[in-house]
Amino acid sequence: MSTTPISESKLKKVRIAIITASIAIPVVVAVLFKVQIPGIEENVKILPSIYAVINGITAVLLIAALVAIKKKNIKLHESLIKICMFLSIIFLALYVAYHMGSKPTLYGDSDFNGDVSLQEKAMVASSSMVYYILLITHILLSVMVVPLVLFSYLFAWKGDITRHRKWTVFTWPIWFYVASTGVIVYYMISPFYK
């Protein structure tokens, strides 16, 4: 990471870019969820398994990055975090592509008719609450993690390790939670994919 001084004007521009991205990303994702591209459902049906693997790799690499920094291996830590950021961007692109090309998958819809009957609800009753708690917290925290990761990275980049450490106390567990619950949510919903 850079330890050279960064001008205040450049720092201000970076902060504005982070705030803009933190607002724009969830808004754009929400808008794109409403866009449906007909005829590509077959082409995108493999994407959930791919982005679940990406989430799993990200979670493992986040642990490795934590271990690296605890062992004072700053270069390895920095490289692993950059890979995690890249994987998160790839995940987001695949996630949006999947949802633009397929109809929503309903938890418990074992006959794949787009409706969860009372019988189907009864079959998943014990796991339904767990699934929705994980899904909702995963989604909400995935929105929060964007500015946390970007600001944490900014502080490291400008050499403000004290602020970087203060931010990563919150950033790392939230990022790890989002990545690991992404895998769990996929595992739970996967039997209901068409």
Residue 124 neighbours by CB distance under 10 Å: 19
Task: Please report, for residues 20, 51, 55, 107, 129, the alpha-carbon distance to residue 121 in angstroms, rounded to integers and kept in the order given.
Answer: 40, 27, 28, 9, 11
Radius of gyration of the chain (CA): 19
- Tokens representing 117 are 């009957």
- Tokens representing 146 are 């964007």
pLDDT in tens, 83-112: 999 999 999 999 999 988 888 889 999 998
User: Of residues 194 and 10, which shows the higher confidence score?
Assistant: 10
Structural contact between residues 149 and 137, judged by C-beta atoms closer than 8 angstroms: no
The predicted pLDDT at position 3 comes to 55
The predicted pLDDT at position 8 comes to 80
What distance in Å separates the CA atoms of residue 19 and residue 11, rounded to the nearest whole number? Answer: 12
pLDDT in tens, 140-166: 999 999 999 999 999 999 889 999 999
Q: How many CA atoms lie within 13 A of 17 on its CB side?
A: 8
Please give the span between the terminal C-alpha atoms of the chain, in angstroms, as a whole number: 45
Q: Is 30 exposed, middle or buried (0-12, 13-18, 19+ CB in 10 A)?
A: exposed
Instruction: Give mean pLDDT, residues 79-84.
Output: 98
Q: Helix or strand or coil: residue 175?
A: helix
User: Of residues 29 and 186, which shows the higher confidence score?
Assistant: 186
Instruction: Give mean pLDDT, residues 35-57.
Output: 92
Residue 8 neighbours by CB distance under 10 Å: 8
pLDDT tier for residue 114 given thresholds of 50, 70 and 90? confident
pLDDT tier for residue 5 given thresholds of 50, 70 and 90? low
Residue 194 confidence (pLDDT) above 80: no
Percent of the chain predicted with pLDDT > 90: 75
Residue 2 confidence (pLDDT) above 60: no
The predicted pLDDT at position 17 comes to 93
Strand boundaries in the chain, DSSP class E: none
pTM of the complete model: 0.89
The predicted pLDDT at position 4 comes to 54
What distance in Å separates the CA atoms of residue 15 and residue 151, rounded to the nearest whole number? Answer: 8
Structural contact between residues 188 and 134, judged by C-beta atoms closer than 8 angstroms: yes
What distance in Å separates the CA atoms of residue 18 and residue 25, rounded to the nearest whole number? Answer: 10
